[in-house]
């Protein structure tokens, strides 16, 4: 029994020791903690007012130094602000400076203060850890510095004076006949703020450094105008000659512009296209337009149909005057063409002409035009006409010989007649002007208009516009035998361009060909219409002369151009009257159209002229009647 009890006691003894061990450990920890606190307190007490061991700045050990001592040491040991080198570069150009010259300074007090505060900020645990870290492995702090950006900007602006270049646009001008070109220049400007930012970054390393200057370039819109200058020089290198393309004898031109005149017309404008902006050289359009508009009438050609006669034997057309292709100057197109050709180096440039083809060319046939037979003809007589009157009849009638009237068109006699003047072959003869018969250019033209009117009248064509004479003219009532046919009264027409016209319509689907024939010896004018008959016939009646009025007493007037004793008669007495002519045009038994032509003829007195001092002039009233009788 004794042995068992001893064994149990031996087994339970370690368990009883556990509280003792735990108590010992706790006691040891408490002692260790107290010792550690004592050490920390002693450590801090020993470095009170001093920098903890292991703290350095820029490799300078500040352990155990008071802040003032550390500041003094840093200021003496850190030489970079005053002795460091900063190299500014712009390509091959360099500028050398010290950090302090650009406003970079060490702050020793702030740096020493930061070293002193290390291990003294934060909660106690953080402080102890920091203190242990610096004691065990050391702590390196960055130096504190001041960067005065105003000083740096002033320094960089002093460099900018040497780097900056003003931007210059290329210019181009004409002085006299010389072309002056000034090349452009790209501008360069130091970007102070961007360079300042790079400088700030580099200074933080506290080492010698190189700073690349940030340069902004300002490129001109037009840098080089030499190409356009060459164009301007080429334009002024020789005279400009404008020509009529395919010029024929009688065409105007050429027109030549010498270089000094061209220089006045040159324009230099800035334009923008897909390649950017550039100068464009050309000729000034306003002056060029004005010149071209001035010569435009010289170049104008109205298109004209070919003129024909109808050969009654072959029943074919024969050309008597070739067709004329219409021509007009395209001013805008010519200006554009001139500028384009000049830029291409040409100096002999054809004007831009627009052409219009005539309706009827020389190759037209009778079948194509429907001109197959004589459809109307009339002959008038002018016995007793002067040579001047016959000349005017011949000249005026020739304007219509071989002329074509389109189907459905209205024909204007005045438009086809043109200008009645001495330059156009007319002579002075008697004309009706106001209430007198006087000498005037073109007397006798109304013989032609009256003959046309009657050809139209008896051919059954519509009359659009017709004016009768103021009084009865004997020529228009003459018969072939020289007698008078008063039934023709009321069938006359006068034309006085541009106020008084005679017009008729070709109301058929065929062209109408007019032929005029003057026989001076026989004193006849014959007008013929050739076309294709549509079977129309004409029925007409006249009232004859009604409401006749005797002419006034004759007038005698002095004419200083006559000699003494010379007396001539310049106007002849004609009684006044009214006459109405009715016309009905039929086709296929149906009335095509009806017309009424009413004419009032004024009574017309005789007029005698005498030279100054002629005896018995002017005669007494009774004698006037005796002389008139």
Residue 234 is part of a domain; what is its CATH number?
Answer: 3.10.20
Tell which residue, 299, 297, 319, has the closest CA to residue 307: 319
CA gap 607, 591 in Å, rounded:
47
Q: How many domains does the chain have?
A: 3
Give CA separation, 405 vs 3, 56, 402, 493, in Å: 168, 120, 10, 20
Number of other CB atoms surrounding residue 283 within 10 Å: 20
* Neighbouring residues of 458: CB distance < 8 A, sequence distance ≥ 6: 376, 378, 538
Would you mind telling me the total number of residues written for the chain in this entry?
Answer: 629
- Spell out the long-range contacts of 270-279 with Cβ–Cβ below 8 A and sequence spacing 24 or more: 270/222, 276/221, 277/221, 277/222, 278/222, 278/225, 278/228, 279/170, 279/172, 279/222, 279/225, 279/228
Specify burial of residue 48 (Cβ count, 10 A radius: 0-12, 13-18, 19+): exposed
**Does 274 share its domain with 409?**
no
Cα–Cα distances in Å, from 102 out to 111, 164, 199?
21, 20, 9
What's the first-to-final CA gap in the chain, in angstroms?
Answer: 212
Q: CA 16 to CA 575: how far, in whole Å?
A: 181
Asked if 333 and 387 sit in the same domain, the reply is no
- How high is the pLDDT of residue 343? 83
Distance CA 566, CA 611 (A): 5
Rounded-to-integer distance, Cα 354 and Cα 333, Å: 10
Q: Which residues pair with 268 in a beta bridge?
A: 281
> Do residue 371 and residue 292 come from a single domain?
no
Judge whether 51 and 62 are in contact, CB under 8 Å: yes
State the pLDDT at residue 628: 39
Domain that holds residue 339: 230-299+329-351
DSSP annotation of 185: B
Which positions ≥6 away from 456 have C-beta within 8 Å? Answer: 376, 463, 504
Residue spans of the chain under pLDDT 70: 1-16, 33, 36, 38-39, 429-442, 621-629
Same domain assignment for residues 346 and 370: no
CB atoms within 10 A of CB 37: 10
Answer whether residue 259 is part of any domain: yes
Q: What's the pLDDT score for residue 323?
A: 95
Indicate yes or no: pTM above 0.75. no
Question: Same structural domain for residues 482 and 609?
Answer: yes
Q: Would 389 be classed as within a structural domain?
A: yes
* Residue 448 falls inside a structural domain: yes
How far is residue 311's CA from residue 194's CA, in Å, rounded to a whole number?
100
In a domain, 591, yes or no: yes
**pLDDT value at residue 339:** 86
Gap between the Cα atoms of 569 and 606, Å rounded: 7
pLDDT at 625: 46
DSSP conformational letter for 532? -
| Same-domain status, 374 and 234 | no
Asked whether residue 133 is assigned to any structural domain, the reply reads no
Q: How far apart are CA 579 and CA 488, in angstroms?
A: 10
Residue 205 belongs to what H/E stretch?
A: none
Q: Are residues 482 and 579 in the same domain?
A: yes
**Token couple for 17:** 């020791």
DSSP code at position 474: G
Domain membership flag for residue 405: yes
Q: What is the pLDDT of residues 401-458, one digit of tens each?
A: 999 999 999 999 999 998 887 887 887 755 555 555 555 555 778 999 999 999 999 9
Handedness of CA 418, 423, 427, 428 (dihedral sign): positive
Cβ atoms 110, 22 nearer than 8 A: no
Distance CA 264, CA 177 (A): 9
**398 and 516 share a domain?**
yes
Q: At what angle do helices 124-137 and 2-46 cross, to 10 degrees?
A: 80
Q: Are residues 337 and 389 in the same domain?
A: no
Tokens of 533: 């008959």
**Same-domain status, 398 and 337:** no
Provide the 3-class DSSP secondary structure of residue 355.
strand
Q: Are residues 346 and 436 located together in one domain of the fold? A: no
What SS3 state is found at 203?
A: helix
Assigned domain for 55 exists: no
Exposure pattern of 141-159 as b/e (b: 16+ CB <10 Å)?
A: bebbbebeeeebbebbeeb
Q: Do residues 88 and 192 lie in contact, with contact meaning Cβ atoms separated by under 8 Å? A: no
* pLDDT given for residue 482 in this prediction: 87
Give the whole-angstrom CA distance, residue 147 versus residue 159. 19
Q: Are residues 434 and 517 in the same domain?
A: yes
Of the candidates 478, 439, 382, 392, the residue with the CA atom closest to the CA atom of residue 571: 439
Task: Classify residue 217: in a domain, yes or no.
Answer: no
Closest CA to 610 of 554, 551, 569, 553: 569
Task: Based on DSSP, count helices (H) and strands (E) in the chain, helices before strands.
Answer: 16, 37
List, for residues 102-149, the tens digit of each pLDDT value.
Answer: 989 989 999 999 999 998 998 988 888 988 899 989 899 989 899 888
- How is residue 104 written in tokens? 């970079």
């Amino acid at each position: 029994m004794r042995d068992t009890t001893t064994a149990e006691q031996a087994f339970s003894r370690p368990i009883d020791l556990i509280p003792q061990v735990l108590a010992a450990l706790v006691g040891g920890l408490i002692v260790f903690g107290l010792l550690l606190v004592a050490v920390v307190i002693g450590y801090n007490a020993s470095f009170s007012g001093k920098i903890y061991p292991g703290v350095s700045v820029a490799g300078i050990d500040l352990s155990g130094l008071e802040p003032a001592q550390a500041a003094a040491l840093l200021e003496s040991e850190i030489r970079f602000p005053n002795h460091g080198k900063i190299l500014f570069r712009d390509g091959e150009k360099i500028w050398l400076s010290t950090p302090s010259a650009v406003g970079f300074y060490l702050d020793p007090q702030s740096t020493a203060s930061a070293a002193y505060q290390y291990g003294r900020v934060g909660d106690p645990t953080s402080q102890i850890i920091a203190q242990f870290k610096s004691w065990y492995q050391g702590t390196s702090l960055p130096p504190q510095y001041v960067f005065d950006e105003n000083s740096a900007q002033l320094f960089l602006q002093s460099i900018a004076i040497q780097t900056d270049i003003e931007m210059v646009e290329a210019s181009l001008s004409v002085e006299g006949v010389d072309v002056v070109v000034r090349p452009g220049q790209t501008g360069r400007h130091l970007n102070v703020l961007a360079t300042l930012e790079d400088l700030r970054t580099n200074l933080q390393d506290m080492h010698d450094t190189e700073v690349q200057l940030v340069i902004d370039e300002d490129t001109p819109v037009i840098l080089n105008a030499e190409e356009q200058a060459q164009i301007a020089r080429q334009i002024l290198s020789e005279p400009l000659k404008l020509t009529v393309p395919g010029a024929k004898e009688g065409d105007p031109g050429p027109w030549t512009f010498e270089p000094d005149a061209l220089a006045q017309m040159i324009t230099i404008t800035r334009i923008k296209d897909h390649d950017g902006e550039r100068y464009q050289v050309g000729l000034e359009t306003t002056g060029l337009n004005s010149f071209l508009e001035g010569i435009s009438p010289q170049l104008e050609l109205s298109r004209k149909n070919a003129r024909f006669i109808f050969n009654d034997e072959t029943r074919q057309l024969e050309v008597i005057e070739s067709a004329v292709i219409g021509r007009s100057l395209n001013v805008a197109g010519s200006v554009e063409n001139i500028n384009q050709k000049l830029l291409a180096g040409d100096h002999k440039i054809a004007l831009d002409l627009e052409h219009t083809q005539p309706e009827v060319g020389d190759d037209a046939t009778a079948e194509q035009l429907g001109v197959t037979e004589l459809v109307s003809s009339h002959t008038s007589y002018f016995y007793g006409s002067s040579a001047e009157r016959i000349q005017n009849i011949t000249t005026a009638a020739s304007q219509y010989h071989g002329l074509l009237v389109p189907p459905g068109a209205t024909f204007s006699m005045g438009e086809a007649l043109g200008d009645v003047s001495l330059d156009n072959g007319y002579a002075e003869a008697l004309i009706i002007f106001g209430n007198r018969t006087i000498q005037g250019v073109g007397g006798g033209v109304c013989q032609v208009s009256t003959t046309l009117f009657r050809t139209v009248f008896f051919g059954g064509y519509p009359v659009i516009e017709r004016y009768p004479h103021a009084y009865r003219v004997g020529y228009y009532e003459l018969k072939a035998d020289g007698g008078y046919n008063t039934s023709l009264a009321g069938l006359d027409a006068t034309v006085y361009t541009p106020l008084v016209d005679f017009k008729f319509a070709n109301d058929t689907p065929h062209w109408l060909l007019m032929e005029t024939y003057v026989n001076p010896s026989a004193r006849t004018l014959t007008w013929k219409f050739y076309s294709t008959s549509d079977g129309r016939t004409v029925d007409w009646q006249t009232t004859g002369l009604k409401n006749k009025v005797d002419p006034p007493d004759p007038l005698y007037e002095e004419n200083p151009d006559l000699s003494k004793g010379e007396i001539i008669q310049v106007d002849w007495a004609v009684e006044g009257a009214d006459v109405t002519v009715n016309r009905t045009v039929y086709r296929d038994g149906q009335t095509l159209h009806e017309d009424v032509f009413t004419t009032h003829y004024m009574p017309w007195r005789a007029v005698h002229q005498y030279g100054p001092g002629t005896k018995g002039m002017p005669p007494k009233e009774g004698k006037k009647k005796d002389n008139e009788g």
